[in-house]
Amino acid sequence: MRLRITGLQVRFGERRVVDLAELAIAEAEIVGLAGESGSGKSMTTLAVLGLAHTVGARVDGSVRLDGAELTGLSQREMREVRGRRIAAIFQSPALAFSPVFRVGSVVHRALRLHGMTRTEAAAAAQRAMRQVLLPPALLDRYPSQLSGGQLQRVAIALALALRAEVLLADEPTSALDVTVQAEVLELLRDLRDREGMSVLFISHDLAVVAELCDRVAIMQDGRIVEQGPTSRVVTAPASSYTAELLAAVPRLGAGGGR
Amino acid sequence: MIVYVARRVALAVLVVAGVIVLTFVIAHLVPGDPAATWAGPRASAAQVAAARRYLGLDRPAAIQLLSYFGGILTGNWGVSIHTHRPVLSDLAAVAPASLELVTAAMIIALVVAVPLGLISARWPGRAGDQAIRAGSILGVSMPIFWLALILQLVFAQRLRLLPVAGEYSPGLLFTHPLTRVTGFGLIDAPLTGNWPMFGSILGHMLLPAVVIAAYPAGLLTRMIRAQVLDTVGDAHIQMVRALGFGERAVFGRFAMKLAWNPVAAAVALVFAYSLVNTFLVEAIFDWPGLGSYATASITSLDTPAILGVTLFIALVYVAANLAVDIFQAAIDPRIRLR
Amino acid sequence: MIEAPSTLPTGGARLPRGQALRRGLAANPLLVAGGLLSALIVLMALLAPLLAPFPGDAGSATHPFLVLRPPSAQHWFGTDNVGRDVYSRVLYGARISPLIAVVVLAISCAVGIPLGVAAGYFGGWLDEVIMRVTDIFLAFPPLLLALALAAVLPASITTVIIVIALTWWPWYTRLIRGQAASVAGRPYIDGCRALGISRRRIIFRHILPNSITPLIIQVSLDVGGVILTVSALSFLGLGAQDPTPDWGLMVAEGQNYFLTSWWVVTFPGIAILVTAFAFTLLGDGLRDLMDPKRIFLR
């Protein structure tokens, strides 16, 4: 397993928002983390990246990347991991990009931060943009000039250009239209198949999770109540909570991942 | 966008008209009879009456207002009682020195405010933040005229580190006289290759600029701290952290860049505000700008000159406000649509 | 002054009580310091007749044989150019500037609040007219208008009060108008009207209390600013006249002797600085206390 989370607990003071006993993602696999809003899904992303302290939360437990423990690392060491080995994309792409920077500027700076020269960075950015089917010229635009779908694809391109091993996708399609959503989901499948990326797909939309993910974990109040291959969980849920969630979905069962 | 600009400009014109009317009203608040003052203490009644006719003071108020208005618009801002020259040309002569001084003060203020504001925002609540906040409140609470005197005493007179007063060393008047091209000493000197003069002006400018910088530095530090703290929880800051950027880059490059818009607006406004503060500082340092002119006019009760300076600075302020409005609307489309 | 409206909390902010208040105070040493310092200054002003060793010096007493003495055990702050005890004069000066500030702010509120409420609640042409007039007054940086007016009027404390009040009221009008307009636009006000509640009741029981909080904060922040403006006008000779122990006037009078007798200028100036500082700290801390967002961010 490329990414293995064990006994992860995230606390705000006395309140525990995340209590993950076990969650793992293999190479070339998309694992879904599904649950209602407020169940602690987004905090998991921050915790894995070692950024929980920025919102005032405390983290205990273990996160292993390729066997190496991340939770004890210093901030400087974690900065090597962030972006480069574990990338993240967020819910509102329009808000995730700073409005006063050109999109390409952020991409370029991030690439140079992780060791590329100016020419290497430019080349990698262009290549990645084409991979996500966007004209590289869009890099010169400001976020306000791009659509939500385009911005999300730029974010994915960034993860590609950095050659990240793991992608944490926190509600990446929740703010997009259904048609654009489908394109982004297709891209994520590409990442898994062509780049062998491990993707953690976090969403409250069980239908999308069912359509995209190979395996799925259901979260309730910070705890995982059920885990397993998507086809099994969706058709024969072991937990009553999962059954409730499934019942609430208007259209079911387009099947599991591949 | 055009509509927005047009509306703001129309509003500004209206305000300027109101400002001119207000200065007219102030001019007529002067107790005593201007005609009598003009004619002199030993004038006869007939001479005073003649003076009144000459000055146009026998016409109805509305006519006087209109003619005053027309005068302002055509460049007739009255004649200074003290210098006997047209007020407008007096202003043209003294304004550059003050504009230079305030610009220098704003640069100093920014050089201080940006790092301190960022440090304060990065470690909020800690000792450093409390100290910086106390310091910036000290800056905005400073009696400028007192600070000027103290600094002059300490640095110029006691320590002899800096010049006491004046725009440049008097000796240079003979050895390296300055040819005025634009009126701005710091531009004219390098333009004519007069480097000794350039250095001298810079040295003489330092103390008054530091004094004037106190208020803007305090204000901008607090503003930068507030703006940066405001954005620190935003999604794009988290994204940048998730990309592996260290806190120094997160604050110094990304959060700060967002703060520049409101900060630039504040700089424009506090620039005009600082022009007024020169009134309290220039006389002490013998800096030949608007402030010295204004102080001298106040002492000699030179009403046309006082009002001329007032009108000038008010116009600068209105222009600065207008520029800020348009600039912000250009950057942020939401403002125009409101 | 310049940062006024945008950085203030909205009308919904309230002063925390009890435990929240105690926690807020603990987290805000600057507020506590400002509050204590301000209280101290007010106390000294009130007790000036008791604390001053030479109360007469704050008036028209002169002592030709004690001219320009440096600080000593007898005269803590030394003596000025006519032999008066600087310490006593500084103490009595504490009665002048803050008092002027209070009067000025009271007048500004008395004018600004009704105008602001009228503009915000009634809207329409009344709003336009009031706001345009306000804009014209606001076109002048604060000190400038006061200066222009004071320069043409006879110099006295009354003049200073009038001219500063004339420059200050527009800020409050604009502030209250914004608050009143936003409160008046809320659905529950329509509900009140539909219920037949009188306009007067709506204004006094609903609009006014909900608009007041930012004003209170702004006023406390402005005390320091007004004190500085007062002392600036006095320094230029446009305010209190000799022998009134106004701090700004004392600095101006001591200017010529500054080189050799530093104490005549230094102590009154420190008094201005400390007073403005204390009240601004207090106002700043109050703002922090009342803004829920800021408490969280600390």
3-state DSSP call for residue A23? Answer: strand
Helix residue ranges per DSSP H, A114-239: 118-131, 148-161, 178-190, 206-212, 230-235
pLDDT digits (tens, 9 = 90+) for A104-129: 999 999 999 988 899 999 999 999 99
Given this model, what pLDDT does residue B336 score? 56
Q: How many CB atoms lie within 10 A of CB B126?
A: 13
Which chain C residue has the Cα nearest residue B269? C2
Model confidence at C297, in pLDDT bands (50, 70, 90)? very low
Cβ–Cβ < 8 Å for A18, A43: yes
Q: Which of B122, B229, B236 to mutate to test the interface with A (most CBs of A within 10 A)?
A: B236
Given this model, what pLDDT does residue C235 score? 92
Q: What does the pLDDT average to over C15-28? A: 68
* Most confident of the ranges A220-224, C149-153, C170-174: C170-174
Kindly report whether the peptide bond that precedes residue B288 is cis, defined as omega within 30 degrees of 0.
no
Helix residue ranges per DSSP H, chain A: 41-48, 75-81, 93-96, 103-113, 118-131, 148-161, 178-190, 206-212, 230-235, 240-248
Model confidence at C24, in pLDDT bands (50, 70, 90)? low
Nearest to C153 among B21, B29, B144 (CB): B29
ipTM of the complex: 0.85
Res C153 pLDDT > 90: no
Chain B contact for C141 (CB, 8 A cutoff): yes
Given this model, what pLDDT does residue B70 score? 82
Give B 246-275 residues with CB within 8 A of chain C: 262, 266, 269-270, 272-273, 275
Give C 224-243 residues with CB within 8 A of chain B: 224, 228, 231-232, 235-238
Model confidence at C11, in pLDDT bands (50, 70, 90)? very low
Q: How many CB atoms lie within 10 A of CB C209?
A: 11
Given this model, what pLDDT does residue A220 score? 86
Say how far apart CA C285 and CA C37 lie, in whole Å. Answer: 13
Which chain A residue has the Cα nearest residue B243? A83
DSSP C257: G
3-state DSSP call for residue A219? Answer: strand
Model confidence at C4, in pLDDT bands (50, 70, 90)? very low
3-state DSSP call for residue B90? Answer: helix
3-state DSSP call for residue B175? Answer: helix
Query: Distances from the Cα of A56 to the Cαs of A11, A41, A86, A202, C159, in angstroms?
Result: 9, 16, 22, 22, 54
Judge: B141–C238 Cβ closer than 8 Å, yes or no.
Answer: no
Given this model, what pLDDT does residue C84 score? 87
Q: How far is B126 from chain A (nearest CA, A)?
A: 15
Given this model, what pLDDT does residue C110 score? 93
- The first and second tokens of residue C142, run together, are 């604060």
Q: Which helix (H) or strand (E) holds B16?
A: helix B2-27
Model confidence at C55, in pLDDT bands (50, 70, 90)? confident
Nearest to A80 among B238, B239, B244 (CB): B244
Given this model, what pLDDT does residue C6 score? 38
Q: Partners for B (CB, 8 Å, 3+ pairs)?
A: A, C
Say how far apart CA C138 and CA B283 lie, in whole Å. Answer: 27
3-state DSSP call for residue A33? Answer: strand
- Please tell me the total number of residues recorded for chain B in this structure: 338
Q: Which of C2, C38, C281 to mutate to test the interface with B (most CBs of B within 10 A)?
A: C2
Given this model, what pLDDT does residue C9 score? 44
Q: Which of A54, A98, A105 to mutate to test the interface with B (most CBs of B within 10 A)?
A: A98
A interface with B, Cβ–Cβ < 8 A, is: 46, 49, 51, 54-55, 75-76, 79-84, 87-88, 90-92, 95-101, 106, 109-110, 113-114, 144, 155, 158
Contacts C272 to B, Cβ<8 Å:
143, 146
Comparing CA positions, the residue from B276, B320, B298, B311 lying closest to residue B76 is B311
Given this model, what pLDDT does residue B337 score? 54
Judge: C273–B266 Cβ closer than 8 Å, yes or no.
Answer: no
Chain A contact for B89 (CB, 8 A cutoff): no
3-state DSSP call for residue B326? Answer: helix
Give C 19-78 residues with CB within 8 A of chain B: 27, 29-30
Q: How far is A234 from chain B (nearest CA, A)?
A: 32
Which chain C residue has the Cα nearest residue B300? C151
Mean pLDDT of chain A, nearest integer: 87
Cβ–Cβ < 8 Å for A230, A203: no
Given this model, what pLDDT does residue B247 score? 87
Cβ–Cβ < 8 Å for B187, B181: yes
Q: How far is B244 from chain A (nearest CA, A)?
A: 4
Q: What is the pLDDT along chain A (258 residues), one digit of tens a residue?
A: 889 999 899 988 888 888 888 899 999 999 999 888 776 788 888 899 988 888 888 888 899 998 888 888 888 888 888 988 999 988 888 888 888 888 999 999 999 998 889 999 999 999 999 988 899 999 988 888 888 889 999 998 998 888 889 999 988 888 888 888 888 888 889 888 988 999 999 988 888 888 899 999 988 888 888 898 988 888 888 888 888 888 877 755 555 444
Contacts B122 to C, Cβ<8 Å:
none
- The first and second tokens of residue C281, run together, are 């700290």
Res C5 pLDDT > 60: no
Helix residue ranges per DSSP H, chain C: 18-26, 29-46, 48-51, 86-122, 124-138, 142-152, 157-184, 187-194, 199-201, 208-235, 247-254, 263-290, 292-297
For chain B, which ranges sit under pLDDT 70?
A: 32-38, 331-338
